Structure 1
């Protein structure tokens, strides 16, 4: 995400991207010291422990990275009067029903990862400074490990894949999230009254199986996708069946429309092709 933020920063902005060597969220005091040295005018926190299944056995670490350290940083930003933009997830919800979750809907995370992200949200709010918590879902990019890159690898290796078809959500390009965070940070810098919790995810909403089919279609990969229910693909962490997010407040307040993830997918595939040349 840091790469995407740097690539989309408006002209004249200086982006200080702190890597794990400078801001290790398992070492909160060192991370806090790095924040103070940077003396920012706004902070975007895109750091997260995202190993959803591993978090079931390592919840303490997930809580530190996703909960405690963001809360400490948000408190320092509040003391400095600096806006804090914090990324969160649809996993804070129960994932039931079919209606899109609104920002004010009751939370009920069903796994350790979701609990740790909810703890982070609560800590950021409790800090009392200008902040936006931006919940998103099904993030993909040309960097790091994600569903798109996994499908490209498996699709090239196999003729047939079974993919879950009863989990529904909005795939979201990381570059769109980065652009949204930058716009929100700029707005918060000018008007802290827009603080709160918002949602941002791609359209149209699809299943993982439908997402995989579009990946293969755009990439020109011949691989059959067979729909299966979540019950046929057990994992240590329970996944939400409903990851739909109501993003209307984000568009109303910040003028940020939901991105078409199919366009974002084409851009990611182009990026990956460029790297192979």
Structure 2
């Protein structure tokens, strides 16, 4: 019985390991001159490797411009998420004001409202009333405030010892000075975590940029790749390889970001900021 359980466990782990190797298969497929759907195609064959797929997809949708658009869209969302998340989280955790509990309850309630339910009203508001179609601001605005980030920052600010804020008040520091000089340095790992987690959403976002942008020069890379697949894929010499090449370019910045900053996924010892 134990042997059967061990065999089943290793079988499940083996299947999971193969699934997590999919990015490797994606890179290999993007470099193949002709697609190889057999299992042996998962391993690089030097005679079948080429960079033509990257050149082909770049010539059709402009990978650099798509990356720039994705970067501006994602950067704006991250900036709004961090700034508004820190300010709102600090206000909900530290400041005393009437309606604080009700506001936090509303922030929790927003979590259960799907974005798809608000998409049409948002499109009418931003594209027709504000005239922000085909603009970076029009893409960024619906995602600029993230209620999840507000809740996360609030919870971490609540963990900070109250003595820190009392000492800052005694020294004459205002609320913004206390936030900037006392609270924010202690939750810096949380800020980096929020940045990394937030990055994935807008970087891979397709539906809203697809609705709000019609000009190809303004579309993020995810939208450009989708248009390529639906419109001009059939005319490519190796459409499968070209699509995988675009997917590799789209995934590469996210992979590099997580590799570089993964060491910051650590909690900080805020208790060391209080003298015994």
Shorter-normalised TM range: under 0.3
TM-score for the superposition, normalised by structure 2: 0.22
Q: Which has the higher helix share?
A: 2
Larger Rg: 2
Q: Which has the higher strand share?
A: 1
TM-score for the superposition, normalised by structure 1: 0.22
User: Which structure carries more relative contact order (alpha carbon 8 Å, separation 6+)?
Assistant: 2
